[in-house]
Amino acid sequence: MIAQRLKSAVKILFFSTALFPIFSAAQPARLAIVIDDIGYHPKEDAAILAIPKEISVAIIPSAPYAKQRNQQAKQQNRDILIHLPMQPLSQQKIEEGGIRLGMSQEEVAQRVKNSKAIVSHAIGMNNHMGSAATADSDLMLKLMNVLREQHLFFLDSRTIGRSVAGKIAKQQGVNSLDRHIFLDDSDEFADVQRQFQLSLQYARKHGTAIVIGHPRKNTVAVLQAGLKNLPQDIQLVGMGSLWRKEKVIPPKPFIMLFNDKPAPTSVAPFEDVPLLRGVP
């Protein structure tokens, strides 16, 4: 009698879970973080390279430790970008090797090639400053021509709202993406923390959030804490994953396995029932 009831109960449970699964794995939102200005300060750079390898790094080619950071990041299997200096609207001087309005195709090509020779493991490029450069159609056309030849992606840091970089990249067959949120425009801890939470909200709403930060003490502190307690519905990914349009793999559901040996009933006559299993 008991065995018969157990069989019926198991059948009901089996058909219920088949029709109405207990667990449904939702597609996680993607969070991609790029840290700019790598290559200048050993202590700050080391702090960035100590956080998860999904954090991408953007190295300024003329920085004193550019080659060293390029090799270190590669050894970690971390995505690397060339952080190329580009002309801003202000009169602020840009680093050596950057690009300016009015340069010829040959000049732009040579500067990109020189940068790639230093940051040799780069899979893409983003702009350092560049509010004037990324809004200039002629310069962006020349740049995208070179990036296509060098098989480099482009991340528009969006330092100006009227940037044409993404549009021209698409026209020239270059994969490009836009920055969504700056993590540390303000270096105050509470402000960086607020921006990190905003990044999570943006990712949930839009499916993906691309965030840019810098190697600063409070930025590192916020990332260390935030990534350690990253919500389950957010998945940290490298920039290469976004450019290659890789699918996000949701976490696997927890499945409890049962022993396949029949277990006896708990009351006399203690019959072995095939559908009654013991928890391992």
* pTM above threshold 0.85: no
- Kindly report, residue by residue over 168-227, the tens digit of the pLDDT: 999 999 999 999 999 999 999 999 999 999 999 999 999 999 999 999 999 999 999 999
- Kindly report, residue by residue over 149-173, the tens digit of the pLDDT: 999 999 999 999 999 999 999 999 9
Mean pLDDT of all residues in the chain? Answer: 87
Output the DSSP codes for the chain: -HHHHHHHHHHHHHHHHHHS-S---PPPEEEEEEEEEETS-HHHHHHHHTS-TTSEEEE-TTSTTHHHHHHHHHHTT--EEEEEEE--SS-PPPPTT-B-TT--HHHHHHHHHHHHHHSTT-SEEEEEE-TTTTT-HHHHHHHHHHHHHHT-EEEE--SSTT--HHHHHHHTT--EEE--EES-SS--HHHHHHHHHHHHHHHHHHSEEEEEE-S-HHHHHHHHHHHHT--TTEEEE-HHHHHTTPPP-PPPPP-----SS-EE-SSTT--EETT-----
Q: Give yes or no for residue 125 having a pLDDT over 80.
A: yes
Q: Does domain 29-243 have CATH number 3.20.20.370?
A: yes
pLDDT value for 17: 40
**In the chain, where are the structural domains located?**
29-243
- Kindly report, residue by residue over 3-25, the tens digit of the pLDDT: 555 455 444 444 444 433 433 34
